[in-house]
Structure 1
Amino acid sequence: MNVFSITLKSLRQRRTGVALTVITIALSVFLLLGVERVRTDARQSFASTVSGTDLLVGARSGPVNLLLYAVFHVGEATNNITWKTYQDIRAMPEVAWTVPLSLGDSHRGFRVTGTTSDFFLHYRYGARKPLAFAAGHAFSDLYDAVIGAEVARRLHYGVGDTIVLAHGLGGPATALHSDKPFRISGVLAPTGTPVDATIAVSLEAIEAIHVDWRSGVRLPGMASSADEARHRDLTPKAITACLVGLRSRLSAFAVQRALNEYPDEALLAVLPGVALGELWHLLGTAENALRVVSAMVVLVGISGMLTALLAMLNERRREMAVLRAVGASTRTVFALLVAESTLLTLIGMIAGGVLLFAVTLLAHDYLLANAGIVLNATPSAQEGWLLLSVLVLGSLSGCIPGWIAYRRSLADGLQVRL
């Protein structure tokens, strides 16, 4: 007898229950694969925030702390490094390029980064992608600013708009640098990195807005207008950190050791990839928790299918008996129920995969703009193993009602129960 044909006919007779079971499994698979894909792609997006940079240098603290405040703009620096030290780093024969970073100011909740035009030239993200401008150009005037895509989207800014920076990471109105407004000269294209939520200005601009400030306080009676600041010595006195690119990556460890042993100042040079590895090690518990939750949801879905099969088993006693009467063996009855559970699981897996693919395509731009996550629509090998595990689990769950039906006799099936 054709078990597959009998299975299809049997499932058609129970359309409503079958549909609900398939939907449950599809949603379970969607959540399982969705969590795995978000976890994997979030890690990839996190790791690719800065690529092509060999060393990250800042004041001595901790590798993860330096990575968080210099690259991801989380937290604050414990100290700065002097401009002389930065010049010494730049002059090292192994160094090909450097990008200075000066942090500490903000605008309506978004971080301000003081840097040079080399930032737009050497900063790379993802697969070594360069920064691109959606509109305008890099800063050319002292009071020019370049904003990220998220800043432009959330604050509705465009090229030519005027903004005022604030001293520190937000504070009272007296902390505003309102006497030295900036003009937006460019808007960067979305990158899915913290650059999207950054306002970039020149290092000289950072010095200009602080010429009449000392230790975070405006000096009374020492106010300097925007035009007067242009004629002051705007050479930076210190920076927060710097990105370093080497002529040869083989020299990375030697340069790192030399900077960590720098005699004039306490420095910390880290390899971004190593620091990211430490960070993900700290976040490993949260990742495992997500996996456990998604696995539990799949188990609930499979359990729901098993419950449905067992609940309908008593209603199908006569069906099984008729099959036995027309020549079906007990093995055929067992195979029928296993085939049903396998087919239901397979259909649910396909539906869940299609749903995930559709959501990935539709939510791609939204997640990039709002969460900084670039979801990949192509399934990974890990997802394939997860699907295989779900299929095996679904097939095994059909063995329980199959074994019950296998042990029932023909007489038990034909018996009329009052």
Structure 2
Amino acid sequence: MLSTIAIESLKRRKATAILTILSITISISLLLCVDIVRNQVKTSFTRTVSGVDLIVGAPSGQLNLLLSSVFNIGTPTKGIDYKSVESLKTNNQVSWLIPLSLGDTHRGFRVVGTTNSFFEHFKYGDMQHLALSAGGVFNQPLSAVIGSDIASKLGYGVGDEMVISHGLGNVSFNNHDKHPFVVSGVLEKTGTPVDKAVYVTLQGLQEAHSGSQQATASIVRKPADNHIKTSDEHEHEHEHEHDELTQVNYDSDAFTPQSVSVVMLGLKSRITALQLQYQINQSKKEPLMAILPGMALAELWQIMGNIEALLLGLSGLIVICALIGLATMLLATMRERYQEIAILRTIGARPFTLLLLVQIEAMLLTIISAVLSIGLVGALMNALKPWLSGTYGLFLSSPLFGKSSAIIILLILSCTYLVSLFPAITAYKRGLHAGLSQH
């Protein structure tokens, strides 16, 4: 009975009800968006690297090793002898291995020496593989594969030459001019530090440092012909469309450097990660340190907890704004209903009935707004998922609405119940005679 009266009352005040629903919907939507982003940012942060079970380097601290190997920030204090890498490679528990050599830059971007195993085994986000938007992986000793940000900011493409510099500064006077690397591929956007890195071969990196000329490989480009090609020539060109860069079958893993900075390991069984970590940390041949990326990322997130606190504070402000807007709308509505309330009291409605009626109307408005907000936010997040993952590295995982979202909705409904008391009590105090006097 009361719900029917409440619905009919809202229909008579359609314009005001629609504006109220719109205001509350926007507020709840903003709050849910912030909550989803807050939770998903933490999840995406811990997925900057996925599928890597152990990261091994020289003893330099867990966070320093993580920052240098995953985020390309800083460098390890020293390298590890490649004999130790070979020992890890032959370990029965190890499925694959990615060596990384750090310490060089190109116009302010980090240069990472590695092998083709990096592009095969390195994963990010929700176990997503790296993909190339142009070109291919290392096909000669002086090959370079660049991140998408470098390609867009510096205008590089497949076949362009680039000179790396020793050291981590934006300006370096120690350039390896005699050993220019040739871009063989451009990676697709990942939204991770991979986008801002240059990946070169370990062989080319070491020979650039040593000044050796053995790594230099000639680049054979197709001659520019001005005559019109026949159909046979077109077919021949199509068969050899990838011949611009020679030595396609280059085996980057065959080269043995003297040392590397960091090694990423993938294990046959993740259950053995702690056991192998202990064995590596206790190694007597060479001081080594193995870390679990997931645990290290969680520790780093705790240090960066101010970001989460800022998002939580923003969420609190949105809640306050939503409640103030709701109270304002309800009070404005009640001022229009003094005569209606007076008539209801005249026909025998009790004060409790009036309070309940006002609260039912308020709850109906909030419930409708909450349902609209959930649908709107869900559709918006699904539509923006590719853009968020490619631009900001924010990988949205299902379900979008979790326990915190349910708590938010229940909290808003509870606050609606409390806020609706004020306009109801105000209308009651207005009294029967005050309401009739306006007729």
> What TM-score comes out, normalization by structure 2 length?
0.82
Note closer, same or farther for the CA distance 1:33–1:228 as it changes in structure 2 (3 Å cut).
closer
CA distances 1:62-120 after superposition (whole Å, capped 9, x unpaired): 21221111112223322222222222322333323211011122223332211111112
Matches within 5 A, 1:148-227: 148-172=147-171, 174-212=173-211, 227=216
Q: Structure 2, unaligned stretches of length 5 or more?
A: 219-254
* Aligned residue in 2 for 1:139: 138
Partner of 1:402: 424
Alpha-carbon separation, structure 1, partners of 2:53 and 2:124: 13
Paired residue for 1:216?
Answer: none
| Cα distance change on mapping 1:104 and 1:19 into 2, 3 Å | farther
Q: How far has the Cα of 1:311 moved from its partner?
A: 4.1
CA distance in 2, matches of 1:286, 1:11: 42
Q: Is the 8 A contact 2:98 2:115 kept in 1?
A: yes
1:239 matched to 2:260: yes
Which one-letter code corresponds to 2:148 in the other structure?
A
Q: 1:244-283, aligned counterparts within 5 Å?
A: 244-283=265-304
Equivalents in 2 of 1:140, 1:100: separation in Å?
Answer: 18
**Cα distance change, pair 176–91 in 1 and its aligned pair in 2 (3 A):** same
Counterpart residue number, 1:218: none
CA drift at 1:204: 0.7
Q: What is the rounded CA distance, in whole Å, between the counterparts of 1:36 and 1:190 in structure 2?
A: 25
Q: Is the 8 A contact 2:206 2:257 kept in 1?
A: yes
- The CA distance in 1 between the partners of 2:176 and 2:140, in whole Å, is 17
Decide whether the 8 Å contact of 2:203 with 2:215 is kept in 1. Answer: no
Structure 2 SS opposite 1:257:
helix
2:100 aligned residue: 101
Contact 1:211–1:224 (CA<8 Å) still a contact in 2? no
Alpha-carbon spacing, 1:228–1:29, altered in 2? closer, same or farther (3 Å): closer
Match of 2:312 among 265, 279, 291: 291
Aligned residue in 2 for 1:219: none
The 8 Å contact of residues 179 and 225 in structure 1, kept in 2 or not, is answered as no
- Map 1:5-404; keep pairs closer than 5 Å: 5-14=4-13, 17-172=16-171, 174-212=173-211, 227=216, 235-376=256-397, 378-382=399-403, 383-404=405-426
Q: Is the 8 A contact 2:142 2:217 kept in 1?
A: no
| Contact 1:25 1:298 survives alignment (8 Å) | no
Q: Deviations over 1:259-308 (max 9, x none)?
A: 11222433211111111221222233431331232123112211221133
Change (3 A) 1:248 1:355: closer
The DSSP-based 3-state class of the residue aligned with 2:209 is: coil
Identity percentage of aligned residues:
39
SS in 2 for 1:174: coil
* 1:18-43 alpha-carbon deviations (Å, 9 max, x no partner): 44443432232222211221122222
**Offset at residue 249 of structure 1 (A):** 2.7
2:264 corresponds to which letter in structure 1?
A: L
Q: Deviations over 1:129-171 (max 9, x none)?
A: 3323233221010111112233334434332233332322343
Q: Secondary structure at the match of 1:186?
A: strand
Q: How many pairs were matched up? A: 403
Aligned counterparts of 1:164 and 1:359: Cα–Cα separation in 2? 43
Runs of 4+ residues deviating >6 angstroms: none
Conservation of the 8 A alpha-carbon contact between 2:79 and 2:260 = yes
Indicate conservation of the 8 Å contact 2:145/2:187, yes or no: yes
State the shift of 1:3 in Å: 3.1
CA distance in 2, matches of 1:361, 1:155: 32
Given the two structures, how large is their TM-score scaled by the length of structure 1?
A: 0.86
- Specify whether residues 126 and 286 from structure 1 end up closer, same or farther in structure 2 by C-alpha distance, changes over 3 A only: closer
Closer, same or farther in 2 for the Cα pair 1:375/1:252, shift >3 Å?
Answer: closer
Higher mean Cα deviation, 323-332 or 296-305?
A: 323-332
2:246 alignment counterpart: none
Q: Which amino acid aligns with 1:282?
A: I
Q: Structure 1 residues 378 and 299, CA, compared in 2 at 3 Å: closer, same or farther? A: same
Q: Is the 8 A contact 1:50 1:125 kept in 2?
A: yes
Q: Given residue 123 of structure 1, which amino acid in structure 2 is its aligned partner?
A: F
CA-based RMSD of the aligned residues comes to 2.9
1:394 alignment partner AA: T
Structure 1: runs of 5+ lacking an equivalent = 213-222
Q: Distance in 1 between matches of 2:70 and 2:182?
A: 25
Equivalent-residue separation in structure 2 for 1:23 and 1:304 (angstroms):
11
